[in-house]
Amino acid sequence: MAWFKRDKKRIESPVPPEERRVRTEGLWIKCESCRAIVWKKDLEANWNVCPKCQHHFRLTAKRRLELLLDGRWHEHDAHLVSTDPLEFVDTKAYIARLTDARRKLGMSDAIITVEGTLDARPLICCSMEFAFIGGSMGAVVGEKVTRAIELSIARKLPLVIVSCSGGARMMEGTISLMQLAKVSAALARLDEVKLPYISVLTDPTTGGVTASYAMLGDLNIAEPGALIGFAGPRVIEQTIRQKLPEGFQTAEFLLQHGFLDAVVPRKDLKAYIARALDFCLA
């Protein structure tokens, strides 16, 4: 029997094996609603709305401003930062959480306050960032919202606040809860001078933010499917000792029961707010 042996060397690729693999990680995303696999760039081009089922993914605070405003804006109070008044520590020191969030997001806290235009209509706009410690409201968020309201009064401009929050920031204890009363009192002054305030509730809007400025708008509107509520379902059921209807904390359920004025798809949000401002300022 004859044996044959390859004498020539194999052709080696100049590219290492690990670099020859097709890199697809992070290029696709699975829709949380319809479970379809969506090309990430297509999703971003559609303002993070699933092209198959219209499920609304979260937007960052800055991306939200890009959606609503005309392109350029002036940020206010960007220098305000929390001082960790309680020196709070749980599984991680609160000051370390703040430092990490500021470094990753390039923001001082969980909200951005800007002055800009929406379809050529000047206004003050606040946009919350859920990725910053759950979009929670501490002393800085409360102070920035209050200053935004005071700026609206001083400039005689309408106010739009986009909420996306897990509620009050309990790492600041009572100080965070005091923000509910402070912001609500400031909004009462805004109402006295008859300037419109439009509240936009996105997924999720819960806790102390829902219990204060998120539900105090002259017009309260939400995105489709947004989770909106004060406490979690288990806490409510244990308190009232009744079984709750399915989906009772969705934007659609709240609209049906009179807690919201409208549920507006993201692509229509800018035009809807523009028409609402025209009506309120007429």
DSSP assignments along 7-23, one per residue: -SPPPPPSS-HHHHS--
Short-list 200, 202, 201, 204, CA closest to 232: 204
pLDDT at 11: 57
pLDDT at 18: 53
Rounded Cα gap, residues 171 and 155, in angstroms: 34
Tell me phi and psi for residue 78, to 5 degrees: -70, -15
pLDDT at 93: 96
Q: At what angle do helices 139-155 and 174-192 cross, to 10 degrees?
A: 10
Rounded Cα gap, residues 89 and 86, in angstroms: 9
Rounded Cα gap, residues 129 and 135, in angstroms: 5
The first and second tokens of residue 155, run together, are 């400039």
Specify whether the CB–CB gap between 164 and 174 falls below 8 A: no
Q: Is 91 helix (H, G, I), strand (E, B) or coil?
A: coil
Specify whether the CB–CB gap between 19 and 31 falls below 8 A: no
pLDDT at 7: 61
pLDDT at 174: 95
The first and second tokens of residue 188, run together, are 């009462």
Q: At what angle do helices 266-281 and 61-68 cross, to 10 degrees?
A: 60
pLDDT at 1: 53
Rounded Cα gap, residues 249 and 99, in angstroms: 33
Pairing of strands 111-118, 73-76: antiparallel
Residue written as token pair 């001083």? 154
**Which residue positions in the chain have pLDDT lower than 50?**
22
pLDDT at 48: 95
pLDDT at 60: 97
